[in-house]
Structure 1
Amino acid sequence: MTGYWVDRARERRTNPAAAFDNGGTVVDPWMKDSSYYLLRQDGTAYQSRDWLTVSTSQSLFLQDNIALLDDRLNLQLGLRRSRIVRDFSNYANDTKAGAADYTMRGDFAKTLPNLSARYQLDRTQQLFFNVGENFSAPAASIYGNALTGGSFVNGVLTGYSIKPVNVSAETSTHWDFGYRYSGEAFSASGSLFYIDYRNRIAAAYDPATGLADSNYNVGHSTTRGAELESSWRFLPNWSLYGSLSYTRSRLNDNLQTGADTFEPTAGQQFPDTPNWLAGLALHYRQGPWSGNLSAKYTGSRYSTLVNDEAIGGFTLVNFDASYRLPPTAFFRKPVLRLNIYNLLNTDYLMLNAGSS
């Protein structure tokens, strides 16, 4: 089997501002009404960011399946060539590092082989193995606020230069091996995984530019762990699902921040990567009715590359219910659904700057 996939995404990112009163209240906190925007002298809206990114992604893939040993062994071979091109345009805005028009382009491509194998021990038991290559292009924000130097002459920035962008694509090789059991009322699986990253990308807040999603290459990194999950239908209409995973993700290099300066990141846990994740769900289905009550635990995780700050773990409980309506001339499978996220109104913290 062979195929070709292409996608073109156009993203415009702006950042207007609005005034607040002496009590610190903003009339339009969601910035939906442009009449509240702060304006420049020429009447246009103040912008601390004004970017346009056109990202073109292409993939050409080949895949073949091979069955051996009376179909007990199944091999899937794949090869994919992926390319991402980012065309970035900065329009002069109200930060000095972005106060002039400029354009930049990033072109990232890699050939990615993969192999999957499944061996059927009997009707209910299976061994599986996967190995493959992946790559990830840095975010378009690496091209923002790239101006340095210069001075304003009659309100126009002159004599500036554009800083080079030195963020490479992240590449990785992943392995996983496991066992799967599938019976009539009970199923379970367990696996071990290992991921080897090169030029791993971390997203961080950059105080120099004020960007909360700047990307950096943090060098070599490895992730290893184990996953368990099972499902049990203990009554005709009731089932129980559980999952548990342990992840150990380590940075192997110190992060270079200058010609002769380094941050002590070697051996540290990769930020926003909890060691433990666990989930439990109770599911009910009767005719057109269904309901699900679930709980998910997320363990503590570090918020910096040097692991000097951490965020505690938390458990969220969610509920959803649905009712399948009869088909109509306009809808083949209409469903009424109710979703309640964070049923117990738990307070918890998330990282808004990505991975560090």
Structure 2
Amino acid sequence: MTLQGVDGQIGFSPIDALTLYGSFTYTDSEVQNDLPSSGGVFIPTAGNQLVETPDWQFGFRADYEIGDWNLGLQGKYVGERYSNDINTEVAPDYTVWDMDVRYRLNGLGTNSWLQLNVINLLDEEYLADISTSTSGTAQYQVGAPRTAMLTLRAAF
């Protein structure tokens, strides 16, 4: 197996109230040998890409604070990835965006807040986890639909 790539991250605050963060990953993989199977038969995997490993992944997050409010937006891109060792089935790429809004409840204590989180803000349909297969069809877990959660934290 040859596996090489690069991973980078950067974060900065262009102004006091705003924080930006970005990340990327590039992975180049190649299986070097065929996979031995029962009965002395080999599965043709030499030269293939590593299963479940996308070439490209990107991430982004922005946080903005104004008064007692915190606003956050984040996104993640995952490139195509093979779902079996012989590279005949591909899971498509996808991008998912999440957001969060928090309001500090200073009247209840210094560490109290009300927070709304929305996962998969744009309700993207995507294949998340893969249950891989050596040479057949894999099983996929569908990604979460748009989901909203409201949390109240009260510290006395």
For the 8 Å contact 1:292–1:319, the answer to whether it is kept is yes
**Following the alignment from structure 1 to structure 2, what is the Cα–Cα distance between the partners of residues 339 and 222?**
40
Question: Which residue does the alignment assign to 2:84?
Answer: 304
Question: Which residue does the alignment assign to 1:326?
Answer: 106
- 1:344 is aligned, of 107, 122, 126, to 122
Question: Which residue does the alignment assign to 2:97?
Answer: 317
Report the CA distance between 1:327 and its aligned residue: 7.5
Give the alignment of 1:199-348 within 5 angstroms.
221-326=1-106, 333-348=111-126
For the 8 Å contact 2:36–2:43, the answer to whether it is kept is yes
**Following the alignment from structure 1 to structure 2, what is the Cα–Cα distance between the partners of residues 223 and 321?**
39
Report the CA distance between 1:332 and its aligned residue: 6.5
Report the CA distance between 1:298 and its aligned residue: 0.6
**Following the alignment from structure 1 to structure 2, what is the Cα–Cα distance between the partners of residues 352 and 277?**
16
Change (3 A) 1:354 1:321: farther
For the 8 Å contact 2:44–2:86, the answer to whether it is kept is yes
Aligned length: 134
- Larger radius of gyration, structure 1 or 2? 1
For the 8 Å contact 1:299–1:312, the answer to whether it is kept is yes
For residues 283-342 of structure 1, give each alpha carbon's deviation from its aligned partner in whole angstroms, at most 9, with x where no partner exists: 1013432111112111000111000111111111111111232385xx772332211111
For the 8 Å contact 1:323–1:335, the answer to whether it is kept is yes
**Following the alignment from structure 1 to structure 2, what is the Cα–Cα distance between the partners of residues 260 and 281?**
50
**Following the alignment from structure 1 to structure 2, what is the Cα–Cα distance between the partners of residues 263 and 248?**
21
**Following the alignment from structure 1 to structure 2, what is the Cα–Cα distance between the partners of residues 332 and 278?**
35
- Please give the TM-score of this superposition, normalised by the length of structure 1: 0.35
Gaps in structure 2 of 5+ consecutive residues:
139-156
For residues 181-211 of structure 1, give each alpha carbon's deviation from its aligned partner in whole angstroms, at most 9, with x where no partner exists: xxxxxxxxxxxxxxxxxxxxxxxxxxxxxxx
Letter in 2 for 1:340: V
- Please give the TM-score of this superposition, normalised by the length of structure 2: 0.76
For residues 145-177 of structure 1, give each alpha carbon's deviation from its aligned partner in whole angstroms, at most 9, with x where no partner exists: xxxxxxxxxxxxxxxxxxxxxxxxxxxxxxxxx
Computed over aligned residues only, the root mean square deviation of the Cα atoms, in angstroms, reads 2.1
Letter in 2 for 1:289: W
Report the CA distance between 1:263 and its aligned residue: 0.3
Change (3 A) 1:354 1:305: closer
Gaps in structure 1 of 5+ consecutive residues:
1-220
For the 8 Å contact 1:246–1:277, the answer to whether it is kept is yes
**Following the alignment from structure 1 to structure 2, what is the Cα–Cα distance between the partners of residues 253 and 325?**
59
Letter in 1 for 2:76: K
Aligned to 1:265, the other structure's residue is in SS state coil
Structure 1 runs of 4+ aligned residues shifted over 3 Å read none
Percentage identity across paired residues of the two chains:
34
Q: Which has the higher contact order (CA 8 A, sep 6+)?
A: 2
